[in-house]
Amino acid sequence: MTTSKSLSAMSAKLLPHRNSLEQASDTSPTSMNKNNLPEEVSHCSHSIAPAKVVRGERAWEESHQLIASICRSPLLLGRSIATAELRQGLLNNLRNLGLNTVSAELKHDCCEMDLKRINALALYNSCDGVIAAGGGKVLDAGKLLAHRLGIPCITVPLSAATCAGWTALANIYSPTGAFQRDQVLARCPHLMIFDHGLVRQAPPRTLASGIADAIAKWYEASVSNGSSNDGLIQQAVQMARVLRDQLLLDGPEALKDQNSLAWIRVAEACALTAGLIGGIGGSRCRTAAAHAVHNALTQLKDCHEVLHGEKVGYGILVQLRLEEIIGGHQLAGQARRQLIPFLKELDLPVNLEDLGLSNLSLHELHEVCQFACQQGSDLHQLPFPVNSSALLEALLGASDNGPVPVESTVTKRMAAS
């Protein structure tokens, strides 16, 4: 079992890249307001956490009365065939509680077409709450529906693949799964039920994906906010570092043994702590290049079967490669080379081939890069400008073991084709 002592010892020697609080408290030029405070700390609005979180082996059963106190006519939302039987059990429970429950399923990802249809269904049935039971896209859709209808949302994650059950944020996709935009919501869910028994039924691949998504918090938050003067952001960034270390230590054991304490720590780290970091850090402490790469990859049909965190994990390697190539950060290269074997151990993709994209043409890769580089993209959270040819270089060299080559990967690929 991991002790707090071993965690801190490990933390001290692992991946030194951006590891110090001194860097986080660097003072960079910031505009001041009339009270002589930096603009960034003068006013902030956060939705930090769900009003209540119930977690544990029988969290769903323990929450029955709480659910009944929040809504009497809930809409139970889900999606995949894999969770249909489980959701039928939840539906029976809710009806046995005397709740007038309506069940609905997403046909696609969290997309406007589905949202419109289910919104009408909820209105027709006078639903007074949404219970979203599923993966990240179901949870996002449930939160967004509740937000639009002005009714409470209860999230019941059925995997630890994302922290969507916690946050006040929803990603919106096209019906074919291409990322379109994210939307900030008025509040985090009223209640989050993280039932270990339910989450344990998800395929192990979802946990590995959740680990990659959660460790991205450190790489993204530290690069985009490492020099913030805001204490809460500094603390959120440091929490992201501790979260990363916990996952590096416990991740492999959690995947080997679902009945271990490591599994509980890792599942809760991915689904709860990662959300808390986003809540404390606020909108400026969320995503950077790793998620921008994810968003761009969702534009490819061939990538739709790849899970969110699987794309994000690869995106971390691309981000580190960019820091190495453009930022000239040798430590980013070291961090990337340490991360690759960890991702491989968890059976997570580390290059385009692993993502099933080895047959993409240079033209298609260019389109991915242009999407990631468009104005307003989180890619531009990096502290240096990135253009699409530099990004292409990083996409192709994400899993290269050595330092930045003299002859570029793009040149070699062009010569070979």
Q: Pick between residue 70 and residue 267 the one whose CB is nearest to Zn ion.
A: 267
Q: Pick between residue 213 and residue 400 the one whose CB is nearest to Zn ion.
A: 213
Does the footprint of Zn ion cover residue 213 (CB under 5 A)?
yes
Q: Pick between residue 213 and residue 324 the one whose CB is nearest to Zn ion.
A: 213
Find the residue with minimal CB distance to Zn ion: 213
Angle at 151 between CA 149 and CA 155, to 5 degrees: 110
Nearest approach, Cβ of 268 to Zn ion (angstroms)?
17
Instruction: Using CB under 5 A, count the residues that bind Zn ion.
Output: 1
Strand partners, 191: 52, 154
Q: Pick between residue 71 and residue 141 the one whose CB is nearest to Zn ion.
A: 141
Nearest approach, Cβ of 79 to Zn ion (angstroms)?
18
Does the footprint of Zn ion cover residue 310 (CB under 5 A)?
no
Q: Pick between residue 207 and residue 390 the one whose CB is nearest to Zn ion.
A: 207
Nearest approach, Cβ of 315 to Zn ion (angstroms)?
9
* Cβ neighbours for 185, distance < 8 A, ≥ 6 positions apart: 47, 143, 144, 147, 168, 169, 170
Q: Pick between residue 215 and residue 233 the one whose CB is nearest to Zn ion.
A: 215
Nearest approach, Cβ of 312 to Zn ion (angstroms)?
5
Rounded Cα distance, 218 and 287, in Å: 10
Q: Pick between residue 213 and residue 230 the one whose CB is nearest to Zn ion.
A: 213
Nearest approach, Cβ of 258 to Zn ion (angstroms)?
23
Nearest approach, Cβ of 291 to Zn ion (angstroms)?
6
Nearest approach, Cβ of 214 to Zn ion (angstroms)?
8
Q: Which stretch binds Zn ion (CB under 5 A): 33-41, 197-205, 209-217, 251-259?
A: 209-217
Rounded Cα distance, 337 and 341, in Å: 8
C-alpha radius of gyration, the chain, whole number = 21
Interacting residues toward Zn ion by CB under 5 A = 213
